[in-house]
Amino acid sequence: MFQKDLDRQEVKLNQVCSCHPISNVFVTPFPDGLFTRNVDDFTTSDSSKEQSSNGRRGASTGRNPRSPSRSTPTREVLPHTESSVLANNVSHFSSVPLNTGLLESLSQNLGQYATPTDIQRLSLSHFFKRNPGLSDPSPVVQSTLSSSQTLLASQTGSGKSIAYMLPMLHSIKWRELAKQDEQPDAPLRPQWAPKGLILAPTHELSRQLSRFAKGLCHNIKLRVFCLSQENRGNSPEKKDDMDFVHVPLSNGTAEIEIRREDAVGSERTAHGPQRPVDVMIGTAGRVLDLTRGRQWRDDMEKIMDRNPWERDEPKAENSVGRLNHPDWKPSIDLSEIEWVVMDEADVVYGPDFIQTTEMLLNDIASAKLKRPLSKIGATSHQTTAYPFNLILCTATIPNSLDQYISTKYPSMERLTSVRLHQLPRSITPEHVPYSGGNRAADIATRIRSVWLEEGMERRGEKSKILLFCNKSSKAEKLAQYLNEQDIPTVALVRVLDKGKRNKNNDQSIESFLKFDEGSVKVRRKQESTADGQQEPRVLATTSLLSRGLDFSPSVKHVFIIDEPNNMVDFIHRAGRTGRAGQEGKVVIFSKSRGRGSARAMTGVRGEIMQKVGLRPTRHLVRRPADAFAS
Ligand SMILES: Nc1ncnc2c1ncn2[C@@H]1O[C@H](COP(=O)(O)OP(=O)(O)OP(=O)(O)O)[C@@H](O)[C@H]1O
């Protein structure tokens, strides 16, 4: 594929991360995301990526000429949202009857004196106080818990992962213990029939969430399994990998497949001493691949080719037999699912992913109710009450998501913290106009001055810096330039650059992410493989890494090199620093002062400058206060 095409695709990803008007989300009769592209395409090894990169999938599907074009960046409006009333009676994690093993894990992970953040207080209060099923095993109370719908919305870095993981993990453990008391001799459920499912838009985020969940589950002995394995070729390193066959792909990476003897329907349901998987984490596309079998995409694609404009979801699905098509080999049993979490909900419910997301939710409902989809009336246009708990989690609620929730999940409880859609207070914004000469040189100068300002260069402890560009090609060129200037930089961009996104890249990103076990592992690897090269202190990337990832507190600066597509994109890029109350700075680059700078200060950049309260330059054309203003 040509560079231009790749760049065009990437601009689209940036738009994906910012969502689109509601008409694009669910009224469009022929949403094309599932068959043209997937966030997976931009991340790690995946069969869909293989197909997408050779253009087959994109070529075989058309775009509904009646649907609004998605090629123009949208000015997504972030509506004003009322913050929920904070529960003052949940000042500590122990204020609710949380499983003691979970309390221990929290203190091991966050420190002895950690108290819940606002969104965690809201969540704990909501799930424990309003759902006595989390502490009362009586069947009547239990059934009230089994179909709640909740939205958790708060600023970046405010601890939303713990806010949804605690009620889910507590509930799964609570119900397991209650069942053991009732039926001590009940047979073990199948290996691959999880109780909880956490869906994220990228493999990177899935992996990070999975590590975090494993840390929380350590004491309560729930088994967490990540479907987004790292690229390890055929040499599995962890015990969990033994459950998978690694299928090498032509680009040097590997795909995973659950071992046939452990898959659904096999006689062997328990695998050695391993307990069944309790929580599974991955992208919706990967889960569908494993529940329906890899061929489902191809079969669906054939149907789309045959009858693209009159596509009707239940009809298309019925005509291929849905879950039980003889050619599809389902590997995961969805019938035991009790909790589904959609992390980064505005992306997962965005136009390019909505179809996969809805399909998976419908599959779960269908598996649980043991009825075909057509019988549960699950079309895109209807309100839906699923037979499981659904949690949507996001730092931004664009109009599109807001309206989608109102239409599709009218009874969804919205838990929203204060200052949603604003930069966290721990982030200081700064504006740097380019000098008018070599822009890359200006960036290098600012990086050096950051390290000088910190006075850390002398101690050899430079902080880490993230650079956000709009295009992979630009991030790569910038990284090359900075390396030539003796500023150790790594570019982490789309996976379509075959060979570049390899084990070393995965290692590079880990050294920027916050996770104790990960960083220890990375440090050890780096020590053993030291080849005289300096460890990168700067990571140049695109919006690919702007979503949900918990970067290390040593990432003190985020540089916004290119104008983000909109405020949503900006909030997520900036939010990679200043996490959990740590101090961080977002540096916004813009055109040099003088001719043309007035234009530079309008548009999204101008809105951002106003929004973050940066003193406008002389040339800034003021825009009327808009919905971003709180
Ligand atoms: N109660 C707490 N006390 C201290 N640190 C916390 C607490 N809760 C979470 N953290 C830490 O805050 C960091 C950010 O948490 P998390 O990744 O869940 O944020 P988030 O709200 O999901 O962010 P984003 O919107 O970017 O996805 C993590 O490093 C986590 O360990």
Q: Please give the Cα distance from 235 to 246 (Å, whole number).
A: 8
Mean pLDDT throughout 263-280?
60
Under 8 Å between Cβ of 424 and 42: no
Q: Please give the Cα distance from 17 to 347 (Å, whole number).
A: 6
- Pocket flag, ligand 1, residue 160 (CB < 6 Å): yes
Distances (CA, A) of 187 to 119, 190, 264, 428: 38, 9, 16, 56
Which residues lie closer than 8 Å to 445 by C-beta, 6 or more apart?
none
Q: Please give the Cα distance from 241 to 218 (Å, whole number).
A: 18
User: Do 100-230+241-263+276-302+328-416 and 427-514+534-608 show the same overall fold?
Assistant: yes
DSSP tag of 587: E
- Pocket flag, ligand 1, residue 208 (CB < 6 Å): no
CATH topology of domain 100-230+241-263+276-302+328-416: Rossmann fold (3.40.50)
| CA-based nearest residue to 544, from 576, 577, 499, 517 | 576
Residue 104: pLDDT band with limits 50, 70, 90: very high
pLDDT for 49-81, tens place per residue?
322 333 333 323 233 333 333 333 445 566 666
- Pocket flag, ligand 1, residue 543 (CB < 6 Å): no
Can you tell me whether residue 492 is helix, strand or coil? strand
Question: Mean pLDDT: which of 138-147, 185-194, 340-349 is highest?
Answer: 340-349
Count Cβ atoms below 10 Å from residue 82 Cβ, excluding itself.
Answer: 9
pLDDT over 70 percentage in the chain:
56
Query: Which of ligand 1's atoms lies nearest the C-alpha of 343?
Result: 27
Residue 92: pLDDT band with limits 50, 70, 90: very high
pLDDT for 12-34, tens place per residue?
433 333 333 222 222 222 222 22
End-to-end CA distance of the chain: 44
* Residue among 550, 558, 571 to mutate when testing ligand 1 (max atoms within 8 A of CB): 550
Helices (H) and strands (E) in the chain, counts: 23, 15
Query: Which of ligand 1's atoms lies nearest the C-alpha of 205?
Result: 27
Query: Which of ligand 1's atoms lies nearest the C-alpha of 117?
Result: 1
Mean pLDDT throughout 2-21?
38
Q: β-pairing, 254-258 with 244-248?
A: antiparallel
- Pocket flag, ligand 1, residue 579 (CB < 6 Å): yes
pLDDT for 550-607, tens place per residue?
998 889 999 999 988 888 899 999 999 999 989 999 999 887 665 555 555 566 677 7
Reported CATH class of domain 427-514+534-608 = alpha beta
Higher pLDDT: 103 or 45? It is 103
* Atom 16 of ligand 1: nearest residue by CA position: 159
Beta bridge partners of 332: none
Question: Mean pLDDT: which of 335-339, 364-368, 432-436, 626-630 is highest?
Answer: 335-339
Instruction: Give the sign of the dihedral formed by CA 302, CA 303, CA 304, CA 309.
Output: positive
Query: Which of ligand 1's atoms lies nearest the C-alpha of 576?
Result: 26
Distance 155 CA to ligand 1 centre (A): 10
Alpha helices for 472-629 (secondary structure H): 472-484, 503-512, 516-528, 567-574, 597-600, 603-611
Count Cβ atoms below 10 Å from residue 53 Cβ, excluding itself.
Answer: 20
Which residues lie closer than 8 Å to 198 by C-beta, 6 or more apart?
164, 165, 206, 209, 213, 279, 280, 281, 341, 343
Q: Please give the Cα distance from 476 to 575 (Å, whole number).
A: 22
Backbone angles phi, psi at 119, to 5 degrees: -70, -30
DSSP tag of 107: H
The domain segmentation of the chain, as residue ranges, is: 100-230+241-263+276-302+328-416, 427-514+534-608
Distance 184 CA to ligand 1 centre (A): 37
- E strand segments, 524-591: 538-541, 555-560, 584-590
Global confidence as pTM: 0.77
Residue 343: pLDDT band with limits 50, 70, 90: very high
DSSP 204-227: HHHHHHHHHHHHHHTTTT--EEES
Place of tokens 């939303």: 160
